[in-house]
Amino acid sequence: MSEDQIKNLEAQFEARIARDEKIEPKDWMPEKYRQTHIRQISQHAHSEIVGMLPEGNWITRAPSLRRKVALLAKVQDEAGHGLYLYSACETLGVSREELYDQLHTGKAKYSSIFNYPTITWADIGAIGWLVDGAAIINQVPLCNTSFGPYARAMIRVCKEESFHQRQGYEIMMTLANGTPEQKEMAQDALNRWWWPSLMMFGPTDAESVHTAQSMKWKLKRKTNDELRQQFVDQTVPQAELIGLTIPDDDLKWNDKRKSYDFGPIDWDEFWQVVKGHGPMNKERMNARVSAWENGEWVRDAAVAYADKQKEYKSKQAV
Amino acid sequence: MEKKDLYNYILGIADNPLILGQRLGELCGHGPSLETDIACTNIALDLFGQTRSYFQYAAKIKGENATEDSIAFLRTEREYTNVLLVEQPNTDFAFTITRQFLFDVYHYLFLEQLQKSKDVNLSAIAHKAIKEVSYHQRFSSDWIKRLGDGTDESKKRMQNAVNDLWRYTDELFHTTESDEAMIAEGIGVDVKKLKNIYYSRINKILEDARLEIPESKWFQKGGKHGLHTEYMGYILSEMQYMQRTYPNMTW
């Protein structure tokens, strides 16, 4: 293809996106669009899978049968999200094995929030309320993103996430209305998860390298800072409602902006965790890698068995 | 009819899905593939759902402010009457799936009979549960065949798991005094009568999987009388952790 032809294709492609048409896997797309989507969708899928670990940590210790069942169902939902996000990603011409390999070798990233430990039961509430709450704000705009398979996967993901968020908030509410020990447990969890949750929206707009291109492709509709503000404005009244205190002395309603002003984020901590040196980065990766390695003989056997069955059937046919 | 016998009988049923669900719950997020992970979690969910139905019924019978949670979390080890099979650890996926298979085949046969119980509550629970267990049985049987007749390594691991867990199968067909009382009332299932069909089903699938049927006649028992393996204490310390550390609270 000549350069002019490619330019022409690109122009048509951008025009389609501008008209809000969906791009489907078999459509022509610029290589950069493909790569950006592989990066973002796989990162999202990895986050779901790694995210199963901190929550899975409390399945065996959940305080009641009802909570145990709800937590199991939630973690299973995350696995389901991982599954259809990997499938969406595979439509771009990359295999699940390759994607796992990128995760296991540290080439691909996942949401840094999952590198924090879940040390009390209240952390399960805080994750649902704050982490899933932040994820929804990030993800709702993606239901209208330009790449069809991703947009469709996100519609389902968002429905389930909003259920998780309510469930998490309900755990926090129960604790906040409980004994002084329970309330303290809830406050402690909020103190530990608040700032990492704000970091989930990524670096400030000035520092964000992908924002401009992503906005153009509708992978993003609002900037990191706008989304972060939306999260703060939404969450502060929820904390007040159940009598918990946001751990930020600078937090104040700004009547002019009709928004909350909040204190500075510790970006050194953010980069430390992103670069692999958070409290649980090593443990999370070890857990994923060993699940994969310990499962190798199982996957190999399944393939060998399927091959034998095929062979057996073709012999029968003869 | 002694209320206590019915109560004990229900616990004897429900402690099995409780402890097996607990074991499966340990694996969530650590399975050999995303698909098996989802399936095992699904089975755990079914088992806990069944446990809750049984315990809610048992709590009503017991009265005295008993709840599904007080029954699930606040007994001593000697008061749990699950079979030894379900408390065995997730040594590897071969053990997990063999434990599941050896229990599922029994569980299905048991529920088939429990549907006919004169106790309408138990019969209703059995009607609902058997649909779930029919899937569990298909899932675990398929994996037995896949792994038994897969690669040399998978065959070796499977044979090892089958040989090891075989000694816990006989106990499934033992009865306690409460069991006998409930059988006499037409409420309980006479598990002794399920033994032959159980082994013929198990053996058929093991043969399909090209695995050898263990010849050992040495079996372990005790679970039904609250005498457990050393694993049980650890399962309970984890499971009961919150309820023991923070007593009398609502979660």
Consecutive H or E run containing A124: helix A122-126
Quick check: B150 and A304 CB within 8 A?
yes
Q: CB within 8 A of B20, min separation 6: which ones?
A: B44, B47, B82, B86, B99, B100, B103
- Name the domain count of chain B: 1
Strands (E), chain A: 252-254, 259-261
Fill in the amino acid letter for A20: D
Quick check: A60 and B26 CB within 8 A?
yes
Q: In degrees rounded to 5, what are phi and psi of residue A23?
A: -95, 125
**Which of A76, A178, A294 comes nearest B92 by C-beta?**
A294
Does B151 lie at the interface with A, CB-CB under 8 angstroms? yes
Tokens of A14: 């951008």
Residue A147, strand partner residues: A23
Chain A residue numbers with beta carbons less than 8 Å from the beta carbon of B31 are 291, 295
Q: What is the mean pLDDT of chain A?
A: 94
Q: Is A202 left (phi over 0), alpha (psi -120 to 50) or beta?
A: left
Per-residue pLDDT, A260:
98
Tokens of A242: 């159940």
Nearest 5 degrees, angle CA B179-CA B181-CA B182? 65
Cβ atoms < 10 Å from Cβ of A308: 13
State the Cα–Cα distance between residues A200 and A304, nearest whole angstrom: 42
Tokens of B2: 């002694």
Nearest 5 degrees, angle CA B44-CA B46-CA B51? 95
State the Cα–Cα distance between residues A61 and A54, nearest whole angstrom: 13
Per-residue pLDDT, A257:
96
Task: List, for residues A97-137, the tens digit of each pLDDT value.
Answer: 999 999 999 999 999 999 999 999 999 999 999 999 999 99
CB burial string B91-105: b at 16+ within 10 A, e below:
ebbbbbbbbbbbbbb
Q: Which of residues 74-93 of A touch B (CB under 8 A)?
A: 75-76, 79-80, 82-83, 86
State the Cα–Cα distance between residues A235 and A240, nearest whole angstrom: 9
Per-residue pLDDT, A315:
86
CATH of the domain at B123: 1.20.1260.10
Quick check: A83 and B250 CB within 8 A?
no
DSSP class of residue B78 equals G
**Which of A83, A174, A297 comes nearest B154 by C-beta?**
A297
* Residues making up chain B, counted from first to last: 251
Task: List, for residues A63-91, the tens digit of each pLDDT value.
Answer: 999 999 999 999 999 999 999 999 999 99
Per-residue pLDDT, A205:
85
Q: CB within 8 A of A265, min separation 6: which ones?
A: A195, A198, A199
Contact A111, A64 (CB under 8 A): no
Nearest 5 degrees, angle CA A28-CA A31-CA A36? 115
Per-residue pLDDT, A313:
87
State the Cα–Cα distance between residues B122 and B115, nearest whole angstrom: 7
Residue where the block lists tokens 């779901």: A48
Per-residue pLDDT, A312:
85
State the Cα–Cα distance between residues A280 and A115, nearest whole angstrom: 4
Is B151 domain-assigned? Answer: yes
% of residues, chain A, pLDDT over 70: 100
Task: List, for residues B182-225, the tens digit of each pLDDT value.
Answer: 999 999 999 999 999 999 999 999 999 999 999 988 999 999 99
Nearest 5 degrees, angle CA A71-CA B71-CA B81? 105
- pLDDT at residue A214 tops 90: no
Is B110 domain-assigned? Answer: yes
Is B12 domain-assigned? Answer: yes
Quick check: B238 and A60 CB within 8 A?
yes
Tokens of A179: 């004994």
Sign, CA torsion B78/B83/B84/B90: negative
Does A276 lie at the interface with B, CB-CB under 8 angstroms? no
**Pick from A120-124, A160-164, A277-281, B20-24: least confident:** A160-164
State the Cα–Cα distance between residues B132 and B134, nearest whole angstrom: 5
Contact B24, B205 (CB under 8 A): no
Q: Which of A48, A58, A64 to mutate to test the interface with B (most CBs of B within 10 A)?
A: A64
Q: Is A188 exposed, middle or buried (0-12, 13-18, 19+ CB in 10 A)?
A: middle
Is B250 domain-assigned? Answer: no
- pLDDT at residue A217 tops 90: no
Per-residue pLDDT, A137:
95
Sign, CA torsion B39/A295/B201/B190: negative
- What is the span of the domain harbouring residue B109? 3-245
Closest by alpha carbon to B7, among B50, B66, B47? B66
| Longest pairwise C-alpha distance within chain A | 82
Does A119 lie at the interface with B, CB-CB under 8 angstroms? no
Per-residue pLDDT, B240:
98
Is B31 domain-assigned? Answer: yes
DSSP class of residue A22 equals P
Is B37 domain-assigned? Answer: yes
Contact A116, A193 (CB under 8 A): yes
DSSP class of residue A147 equals B
Per-residue pLDDT, A215:
84
- pLDDT at residue A1 tops 80: no
Per-residue pLDDT, B65:
93
Residue where the block lists tokens 């998978």: B154
Indicate the pLDDT class of residue A33, thresholds 50, 70 and 90: very high
Tokens of A228: 């972060």
Indicate the pLDDT class of residue A30, thresholds 50, 70 and 90: very high
Residue where the block lists tokens 């549907």: B115
Collect the ranges in chain B with pLDDT lower than 50.
Answer: none
> DSSP string spanning B170-234?
GGGG---HHHHHHHHTT-S--GGGGHHHHHHHHHHHHHHTT-PPP--------GGGT---THHHH
- pLDDT at residue A211 tops 80: no
Q: What is the pTM of this model?
A: 0.95
How confident is the model over A274-302, as a mean pLDDT?
96
Consecutive H or E run containing A194: helix A180-199
Is B63 domain-assigned? Answer: yes
**Pick from A33-37, A219-223, A261-265, B125-129: least confident:** A219-223
